[in-house]
Structure 1
Amino acid sequence: MTEPALSRLLDLVPVHLLARDAQADGGTGPLTALLAAVAGELELLEADLDRLHDGFFVETCAEWLVPYLADLVGLAELPPDLGVTVSRRALVANTVAYRRRKGTVAVLEQVARDVTGWPARAVEHHPLLVGATHVNHVRPDRPATVSLRGAARIEAAAVVSPPGPRGALDPLTHTAEVRRIPTRRGRYGIDHVAVHLFATQAYEVGAPEADPPAGPNGGWSAARAAADHWTFDPLGRAVPLYAPPRREESVERLATEADLPVPLRPRRLLDLLGQARAGALAATALPLGVRLRVGGVDQPDLTPDRIRVCHLEDLAPGPAPQVMVDPVAGRLKVYAPAAPDAVFVRYTHGGLADVGAGTYDRTAAHEALLATDPGAPVTADAPDAPPAAGQTQVCSGTPAPVGSVPTLAAGLAAAEASWAAPGSTTRGGTYVVSVADSASYPGDVAVTVPAGTRLVLVAAAWPTRRRPDGEVLAPVPGRYAPDGLRPHLRGSLRLTGEPGSSVVVDGLLVEGDVVVAPGQLGHLTIAHATVTGAVRVESAAGRPNSRLQLRLSRVVAGAVTLAATVPVVTVDTSVLDATTGGGTALTGEGVHACLEGSTVRGAVRVRSLDASSCVLDGPVEVAHRQVGCLRFSYVAPGSRTPRRYRCVPADDEPGPLPVYAATDPASPAYPALAGSCPLPIREGGEDRAEPGVHHHLRRPLRLRAAQRQLDPYRPVGIELGIFGS
């Protein structure tokens, strides 16, 4: 810890004194010991000076210093805490620049973006009004009727990124509206300016610019085969494709479609493909890519001229493989001499939050999860040592990395073989099975975890390392990066645990059930995962799983069904949606359920319940109602619950019902509350935030903060309306 400072101090001492000091017993004399003690204090002093220096600048200061720097620039009212993803740093840093451009549309757009942390687009509606023009100043760009030949303009007018409204990119003219824009009912008026906020995030699957790449095959996802086509989504859902928004080069330029997370229009895709075919755009800069596997061998990526847009162009000549893409429905059709074994795709989809299985960076969350997991600890004696007692990497691609296995079942079998080996050093420690690609793995898998052992099943790759001179080094086995991958298990996962065992499942897309078989599993944590079926815990005589602690964190699941012997389940920032699976979302006769910031669509039947900032959209039956409490939550009418604190409704009387922006899991807005949702529910969470799985986004707080911060920069006589989210 003190080696650098100690070395610097020793360099200041004459050599003959160091030589005499080294003659002491043990090789470390009193002078070196004294300087070692001084070096420790010196490093503390230097670190404090560095923090003091960083505190003078808004770009490097600690977050708690931002309000003090805001006072220096006269920013009296800062927004409240808007969550860990939003910092007030940009607002304070740009305040002087705001004032220099006060009254312009560009500054309104930038303020909205800096306050909310969302991409924004400001639109003046006066130029979009239809009006009688003077003969000396004809405006042919404002026709009173829409030309049906302008298909691109009509297509742009319909662009909407759920849960945002239409109109942010509308180039068509409209007649004036009498309704005022602050109410969000009127929009087109002489003195109206709209600020559109885009809460949707664009998630890249197989990002081409990732360094190091996400896994050996770059994180490309396996497409799902249907009757006569393939879907980009591995579950076969109609998921609209997005284009990754570019970073704006100048704050003085208004945002365009390329700067915003909006669905990919077919004509926009055709235009990008045309640029790539002409050599003006790199193939890796396209919003999608396609790769075929024929005869068990991965073929080169299809070139831009072999990717065609459905309904807008014909197939290219020649026998080479090509695909027809429909970006609206997220589908593609392959035209090739030989049918491919598999299709891998690179694309972008939309979503509101980092919930469920996804390609977002889970590094910090995964480390925190392992640190707080009650199972066996992760130890590492050296910087390059594996973070676990044993490790196996799963990768189905070709060529496969050295030391990897091709299937998930083989990876779990390798873990069991390691535990069963005589004199095993992995039994009683942590064993990591990392899935290093986003392929689909068919078939049910099962594993039995020995007593006192932890199994970590994670979507992660062993990344390559890069020296400062650019040299690429081989990965360190067991050192994994949980980022950029979303492996798909097309089957169920069955877990059996002995006393004191623990299992962590992180980042997987499970098209089936996660089943805990009868046994004595100690802990099961499922995080950043999607389970299309149910999470079930079974019991049997002598193997009741009576000490199991189940935790779901940022999970999308169909239901949770627990044996009567399971004592505790914790659900935070998750979705339980049983509307299509029988209607019961959470059941356990003997379980105490703790719900935090989650959306539950279906019935809940438990022994006791604690819930905060949740949407419980289904009948709730709690056996022990004298224990527990419901806070800042929506509870379905007719529920029998413990005492309620600031819930909607406050008692058993009928109240307003929630309105969702989307109930289809394929929608980017699933399952957010809509803007038309009654206000007591929409702002019924703690701190007047949205209850449910998106409570941590604090969307209502961001909108209110944007309204307050935009008002000082609004030109006199101009009415401002905020749309989106």
Structure 2
Amino acid sequence: MNNSPDHLYELLPTIYRVRDAEQGYPLRDLLRVIAEQVDVVEADVTQLYENWFIETCQDWVVPYIGELIGYQSVHSAGQLGNPTTAEGQQRNKILIKRREVANTIRYRRRKGTLALLELLAYKVAGWQARVVEFYKLLSRTQHINHLHSPSRTTVDLRKLAALSMLDSPFNELLAHTVDVHRIASHYGLGSHNIPSIGIFVWRLKAYSATRTPAFCLEEVSSNCYTFSITGNDTSLYTRPEPEEDATQIARELNLPIPIQRRVLQSHISDYYNSNPNLEKLTKSLEIWKGVGSQLQLVSPDKIIVADLSDWNYQPPSDHIAVDPELGRMVFPLRQLPKNGVWVSYHYGFSADIGGGEYNRLLLNSPEHLLLDADDIKELASLVSQLQDFSTLSQFLRSQFSQPTRELLDAYTSSYSPERPLLTALIKELNQLLLGKSLYEEQRFASIRLTEKTNKLLQQNLQGKELIRLNRLLLEDAFPHAIGKHYAHYKVSQTSFEYYQTITEAILQWQREKPRDAVIEITDSGVYVERINIELEKNQSLQLRAANRKRPVIRILDWRTAFGDALNVTVKPGSCFILDGLLITGRGVHVEGDQSEGYLTTGVQKPASVLIRHSTLVPGWSLHCDCEPRRSTEPSLELFNINACIAIEHSIIGSIQVNQDEVETDPLPIHISDSIVDATTIEGEAIGAVGYSIAHARLTIVRCTVFGQIQVHAIDLAENSIFNGRIFVARRQQGCIRFCYVTPNSHTPRRFHCQPDLVEQSVAQEAEQQEEQNRVRPQFNSTRYGTPTYCQLAQTCAEEIKRGADDESEMGVFHNLYQPLREANLRIRLDEYIPAGMEVGILYAT
């Protein structure tokens, strides 16, 4: 397809184009309109050809190609979604995977092999797995005519490695007696039997933390450190490596599993990186010590694997004691790391939620390229420069209309009215921005252009890019009069090309005052600073981490008589975004500017606050056992603001709203795909001071909440788990659907919620109480910092695990579609297992 709008016009003979130019190009304009439709037809023809192949076809074509080769979708996993909606497309990608359709014939040729079953678990469900044939682990008597290698029926207590593998997917030595229960039973799972094949799947993923400072646990001793920057114990996970051979069964190094002490001690070279020149984390673990201004990698022969449960072990000189199961380190008391300790490691978690080094889509900051009144910083300075006799000023005045030139000539800073001239200049300059390029070498000979402007001048720009270039040229020509429309500040503790602290970047941002700005942290360091941000009207600022980075902002108790939160002040039309950060030590305080009557709603454009892919540690910080240190303190405080609050893919502590109920409307809060954790179900997850009703309207979808919610109204709650009572002031407004709602809650009308449905199915009060207890959500962990945080337990009721509107699980991990993946995988396994065998899915994590 030709991207030029005049490709049809250029096919005409030159004589017709010359005559068309003499008449003002009417033929060219007509052919441009025709060319648009030609491009649509050409693109459709191209797409039709691409739809012949599974690799390039559109998503709606995948089921049709699957039908041609006999691929059957899994109806037991649920009905297909609507392909015209984003949610339906995401659901269909789980139920009908493009790569599974593409590999159907290849899979059938490998039917019955164990490696194929592992591959299916990954390709169909996205889970890494290990297959175990249980008949090989059965104890059996010898037949005199059919001798075979004896199976071990006794335990050798001297083999500690084998003992640690008992009842694990890696047990290969100790035999078991026959278990007659079926391995695929829905009631009592069996295991060791002749036809049984077990697929152990790991649902948790290993997430990296690269070159981040370790936490010195001074309350224990100055030589005791934790890998986690929040000070809690965390198991170090294996960075899974792909199998060298496609027929190889997965081993410990190929799976995201916690590293055991004995494994690290005997195979440290497989887990610990010994090459200091590698910039990327290629193995599971690294420890760095600060030596002067440089980092020195600790040699693996200096590491002693030890049990540091009680912190009593003292390593010898020049060595470090490491406990991978707890994520702890101990240095010799006489050799303390005075210049700090940095670590690279992997931890386990369920999904891409909260601050982490995973791939996430960065938001593009809005660029207001056209001028308005807020962009003119000093009108007198602009007029003064336009009135001089420079080449650029003379050119600009020549492009202005006669009334504008008269206002410009009559202007004096002492008594002339500024509003008419300001309005006229903005209109004239915007017309120039939308026109041709303003640049000519003679016009800008005496003007110093920035590096960014010079790079754009070297390109052939059109459309929006040309408008951006013209705006930059005006900003360079009138630096004191026209404000910047966009600025990007980079922060890094490891690069001298960028700002070393967030405060330095904020100070530069305050000096330049750009309309839109991004402060991006490009490493995974820890920034211990006091951060205060004040936004002007219609100004936006992103404070974000670079993609695949997880910087930490640690806020300390700096001042005795004042609060020490991360403070943000917003004004009408402003926008503040937190993206990809982990904030510990204190919370985030957002308030409106009351000096300008900000509490009056009027016609002023509300501000917006967005928190996405971030973690505001519940309880501010953690003890070693992941218990919160300040369980009653809020992680987010909202104080008298006229704004829209949005929280996406984040982990956050309690939210406290302090609004003037007389002067303001209820504050809209939108939360999606997030965890709101008050650390106890009796605590206040969303509310106001003193457990009162927050003056807020809540919209919450696909979330898990621990604690009470007390708000003015709930407009919509969907596919969520509320593990705490709900108190809503206006019950006539809004709806709660497909959620678990704690009994005795005061809510708006509910639709298909639990335990309402199970209570309606029984009549006796005692049976209703039993049903309430049965469907109560059960979690593997409710403490932030543990790998299985907010993960539904296997014993959780099916009404919760498949209780969402699309038969996925309720809560924050709804979009993982784990029930659908399991149903999909079970059906696929039945197609490819050896004849006469029975396969069962066993969750290792």
| CA drift at 1:447 | 0.9
Structure with bigger gyration radius: 2
The code of the aligned residue for 1:381 comes to: E
Q: Does residue 565 of structure 2 align to residue 514 of structure 1?
A: no
Aligned residues of 1:615 and 1:692 also touching (Cα < 8 A): yes
Q: Secondary structure at the match of 2:669?
A: strand
* Distance change in 2, residues 1:538/1:338 (3 Å): closer
Aligned residues of 1:380 and 1:388 also touching (Cα < 8 A): no
Residue of structure 2 aligned with 1:253, choices 237, 248, 251? 248
What are the equivalent positions in structure 2 for 1:303-342 lying under 5 Å apart? 303-310=299-306, 322-335=319-332, 337=335, 339-342=337-340
| CA drift at 1:271 | 4.5
Residue of structure 2 aligned with 1:595, choices 676, 679, 700? 700
What are the equivalent positions in structure 2 for 1:450-529 lying under 5 Å apart? 450-460=536-546, 482-491=547-556, 492-511=565-584, 512-519=586-593, 520=598, 522-529=607-614
Tell me which residue corresponds to 1:210. none
Tell me which residue corresponds to 2:56. 60
Tell me which residue corresponds to 2:493. 396
Larger CA deviation: 612-621 vs 51-60: 51-60
| CA drift at 1:417 | 2.4
* Distance change in 2, residues 1:275/1:722 (3 Å): closer
Residue of structure 1 aligned with 2:195, choices 179, 184, 191? 191
Tell me which residue corresponds to 1:432. 518
Q: Secondary structure at the match of 1:98?
A: helix
Residue of structure 2 aligned with 1:571, choices 664, 671, 679? 671
Residue of structure 1 aligned with 2:228, choices 218, 227, 233? 233
Determine the C-alpha separation between the residues in 2 that align with 1:673 and 1:98. 32
* Distance change in 2, residues 1:445/1:20 (3 Å): same
What are the equivalent positions in structure 2 for 1:408-427 lying under 5 Å apart? 408-419=502-513, 426=514
Tell me which residue corresponds to 2:475. none
Larger CA deviation: 554-563 vs 243-252: 243-252
Residue of structure 1 aligned with 2:648, choices 540, 553, 558? 553
Tell me which residue corresponds to 1:606. 711
* Distance change in 2, residues 1:637/1:439 (3 Å): same
* Distance change in 2, residues 1:619/1:525 (3 Å): same
Tell me which residue corresponds to 1:649. 755
Residue by residue over 1:245-271, the C-alpha shift from the partner in whole angstroms, topping out at 9 and shown as x without a partner, is 123455433222222211123343345
Count of aligned residue pairs for this structure pair: 652
| CA drift at 1:451 | 0.9
Residue by residue over 1:453-475, the C-alpha shift from the partner in whole angstroms, topping out at 9 and shown as x without a partner, is 01111011xxxxxxxxxxxxxxx
Aligned residues of 2:524 and 2:552 also touching (Cα < 8 A): yes
* Distance change in 2, residues 1:116/1:277 (3 Å): closer
Q: Secondary structure at the match of 1:687?
A: coil
Structure 1's unaligned 5+ residue stretches are 158-165, 207-219, 420-425, 461-481
| CA drift at 1:4 | 6.7
Residue by residue over 1:532-591, the C-alpha shift from the partner in whole angstroms, topping out at 9 and shown as x without a partner, is 24343444xxxx31x221111111111011123452111111111112597111115321
- Normalized against structure 1, the TM-score is what? 0.81
* Distance change in 2, residues 1:323/1:83 (3 Å): farther
The code of the aligned residue for 2:197 comes to: V
Determine the C-alpha separation between the residues in 2 that align with 1:103 and 1:167. 23
Aligned residues of 2:540 and 2:574 also touching (Cα < 8 A): yes
| CA drift at 1:134 | 4.0
The code of the aligned residue for 1:71 comes to: E
The code of the aligned residue for 1:550 comes to: I
Residue of structure 1 aligned with 2:799, choices 680, 689, 694? 680
| CA drift at 1:84 | 8.1
| CA drift at 1:488 | 3.4
Aligned residues of 2:315 and 2:321 also touching (Cα < 8 A): no
* Distance change in 2, residues 1:154/1:138 (3 Å): farther
Aligned residues of 2:216 and 2:224 also touching (Cα < 8 A): yes
Q: Does residue 740 of structure 2 align to residue 634 of structure 1?
A: yes
| CA drift at 1:70 | 0.6
Residue of structure 2 aligned with 1:173, choices 172, 175, 194? 175
What are the equivalent positions in structure 2 for 1:63-462 lying under 5 Å apart? 63-78=59-74, 80=80, 83=91, 86=94, 88-134=97-143, 142-157=151-166, 167-171=168-172, 172-183=174-185, 185-206=189-210, 220-226=211-217, 227=221, 228-274=223-269, 285-295=282-292, 297-310=293-306, 322-335=319-332, 337=335, 339-363=337-361, 366-367=362-363, 381=465, 389-397=486-494, 400-402=495-497, 404-419=498-513, 426=514, 429-460=515-546
Q: Secondary structure at the match of 1:381?
A: helix
Task: Please report the RMSD computed on the Cα atoms of aligned residues, expressed in angstroms.
Answer: 3.7
Structure 2's unaligned 5+ residue stretches are 82-89, 368-373, 376-462, 473-483, 557-564, 599-605, 621-633, 661-665, 688-692, 760-767
Larger CA deviation: 516-525 vs 669-678: 516-525
Q: Does residue 724 of structure 2 align to residue 618 of structure 1?
A: yes
* Distance change in 2, residues 1:581/1:104 (3 Å): closer
Aligned residues of 2:273 and 2:283 also touching (Cα < 8 A): no
Aligned residues of 1:276 and 1:304 also touching (Cα < 8 A): no
The code of the aligned residue for 1:529 comes to: S
- Normalized against structure 2, the TM-score is what? 0.70
| CA drift at 1:124 | 0.9
| CA drift at 1:177 | 1.5
Q: Secondary structure at the match of 1:300?
A: strand
| CA drift at 1:273 | 3.1
Determine the C-alpha separation between the residues in 2 that align with 1:291 and 1:26. 74
Aligned residues of 1:247 and 1:259 also touching (Cα < 8 A): yes
Greater helix content: 2
* Distance change in 2, residues 1:300/1:4 (3 Å): farther
| CA drift at 1:679 | 2.0
Q: Secondary structure at the match of 1:417?
A: helix
Determine the C-alpha separation between the residues in 1 that align with 2:240 and 2:643. 44
Tell me which residue corresponds to 2:562. none
* Distance change in 2, residues 1:486/1:277 (3 Å): closer
Residue by residue over 1:244-301, the C-alpha shift from the partner in whole angstroms, topping out at 9 and shown as x without a partner, is 2123455433222222211123343345434699999997533111222244x12233
* Distance change in 2, residues 1:647/1:30 (3 Å): closer
Aligned residues of 2:523 and 2:551 also touching (Cα < 8 A): yes
| CA drift at 1:241 | 1.0
* Distance change in 2, residues 1:152/1:458 (3 Å): same
| CA drift at 1:167 | 2.7
